[in-house]
Amino acid sequence: MSTTTIPPALYKYLAPDPDRASQILGKLRIRFSQVSVLNDIDEFQPQYNVFSTRAETEKIACEFLLRKYSTECANVYRKLPIGQADQVINEMASNGADNLEKSFQEGKIVRDLYAKYDRDYGLLSLSETLTSKLMWSFYCDGGRGVVIEFAPSDAWFNGKTADNDSFHHLRKVRYVDEREPMYLLDTKTDVDKREDAVLHTKTSEWEFEKEWRIIRNFTEAKEKVGPDDYGKDVWLFEIPPSAIRAVVFGYRAPPQLEASLREIVTTNVNLKHIVFRRAVRDVNGHIEVVSSLPDAGCHTHSRFSNEWDRKGE
């Protein structure tokens, strides 16, 4: 498994939708999203060049044949000499391999696999950066939203059920210029490397996200609500208060959003450890994060908000 050092903090960028932030802070539930609602349409969709090697495909077809039609295969060996029986079974396996390859070429097998990923699994995407202009712009509606800071050292972020579990724990996304074509069935490559290529690899256009992610099966969700704007179910997973560390208000976050989130946090004794911060943007467009005093109210959108925050006005 990956031995990459996990950052001391990870961040979830949220648009100025009070429902999304209040789900996390108020209900302590967070969405794991289907890949079909994410910005990168290639998520979980590597390029598969062929189904497998011909030898592997015939082996799979033969194993399926002997398992699925065990009685019929036994009758073949009972009625024919061993050499002839082997020839009959091998021919049937070869035909089965032809059908598998044809189905692959027609795209059905791959489409079904992509659909299964989207139907069964959701991912929580977090970032290791808090001062990216692109992140604040794309995922926080130009600084109008908020960022939730999480403590990745919390046990919630490491729920591996086995050493080879690729889900339930944080994994760093790997960025490459081009995703290499793969065999759909690859029994020779290490499982971790194969799953990393499928589940945790994106092209370099997305490198600005500096993403870490957790994948979970929707059967583990606490609640299903929705549908969302894409017509998809919204699967919510419980998250402990200890996993949440801070709320960072965007440099253009509306006062109403700030007030509502402050109230949620300050009225819940289990969230008393959470601190408030504010992103500020200077005249050159650089973003930094400063302490935010209680009930800071409205704020400016420039570097001068640093001084304004200190006054608590």
The phi, psi pair for 164, rounded to 5°, reads -100, 20
**DSSP assignments along 191-212, one per residue:** HHHHHHHHHSEEEGGGGGG-EE
CB of 94 closer than 8 Å to CB of 58: yes
Q: In this predicted structure, what is the pLDDT of residue 251? A: 95
Cα separation of 241 and 244, whole Å? 6
What is the 3 state secondary structure string of 140-185? CCCCCCEEEEECCCCHHHECCCCCCCCCCECEECEEECCCCCEECC
Q: What is the mean pLDDT of each run of 10 residues along the chain (313 residues)?
A: 79 90 94 90 71 76 86 90 90 85 72 85 95 95 96 93 83 87 61 73 93 95 89 94 96 94 94 95 90 56 37 34
Give the sign of the dihedral formed by CA 212, CA 175, CA 41, CA 198. negative
Query: What amino acid occupies position 48?
Result: Y
How far, CA to CA in Å, does 140 sit from each of 91, 123, 180, 188, 202?
Answer: 59, 19, 32, 42, 21
SS3 content of the chain, % helix, strand, coil (to 5): 40, 20, 35
For the chain, the structural domain boundaries read 10-40+122-311, 48-115
Exposure of 287 in the CB half-sphere (CA atoms within 13 A): 19
**Per-residue confidence (pLDDT) for residue 313, from 0 to 100:** 33
Q: Per DSSP, which regions of the chain are E strands?
A: 10-14, 29-31, 48-50, 121-127, 146-150, 171-172, 174-176, 182-183, 201-203, 211-217, 223-225, 234-238, 244-249, 275-281, 287-291
The reported pLDDT for the residue numbered 162 is 79
What's at 263, amino acid-wise? E
User: What distance in Å separates the CA atoms of residue 141 and residue 146, rounded to the nearest whole number?
Assistant: 9
8 A C-beta contact, residue 236 and residue 225 = yes
Q: What are phi and psi of 202, to 5 degrees?
A: -135, 165
User: Is the pTM here over 0.85, yes or no?
Assistant: no
